[in-house]
Amino acid sequence: MKHEYEGKWSDNLADVLWACRSSVKTATGFSPFSLVYGTKAISLMELVVPTPRVVLDKSQEDTKDTNNERRLADLEGIGEERELAKRRSQRYQQRILKHMHKQYPRAFTEEQLRQASRSINVKIAAVEEVLARAHKSKI
């Protein structure tokens, strides 16, 4: 894939952004598109090979007023979806943190901290010694 675009990645940026915005995210269970617009995005493929949802939308021959009413109906339930997405995202973050703490515990004993401090002090002293020698050799 890297060689396919040969520096023309910007030509495909719109497609990549569409894919990111219309894909369901693990953390929330919703796509960013649906959280903004209150409805699932229609993909380009659905326009080429019509799905029942697209066929139904086309057959209803919306006027401006009926389209606005349907849009408002979509947006009425969006607050609940956003709240659900927020709770799911918080639970997801808690699970990730719990896993991270199991993998990389942050509790250190006093002895471990003393050893780390001594090790750092030894390294600092060694660097200072090298710098001092370098400074003397320049003089």
Q: pTM for the full model?
A: 0.55
What is the rounded average pLDDT for all residues in the chain?
A: 82
Q: What is the pLDDT of residue 61?
A: 63
Most confidently modeled of 15-19, 40-44, 60-64, 83-87?
A: 83-87
How large a percentage of the chain has pLDDT more than 90?
Answer: 18
Q: What is the pLDDT of residue 64?
A: 67
Q: What is the pLDDT of residue 32?
A: 92
DSSP output for 88-137? HHHHHHHHHHHHHHHHS-----HHHHHHHHHHHHHHHHHHHHHHHHHHHH
Q: Where are the domains of the chain?
A: 2-107, 108-139
Q: What is the pLDDT of residue 108?
A: 77
For the segment 47-63, the average pLDDT, to the nearest whole number, is 70
Q: What is the pLDDT of residue 43?
A: 79
For the segment 23-30, the average pLDDT, to the nearest whole number, is 92
The separation between CA 12 and the C-alpha centre of its own chain, rounded to angstroms, equals 20
Q: What is the pLDDT of residue 111?
A: 86
The span from the CA of 17 to the CA of 11, in Å, is 12
Q: What is the pLDDT of residues 62-121, one digit of tens each?
A: 666 777 777 787 778 788 889 999 999 999 999 998 888 887 777 778 888 888 888 898
* Token pair recorded at residue 28: 């929330």
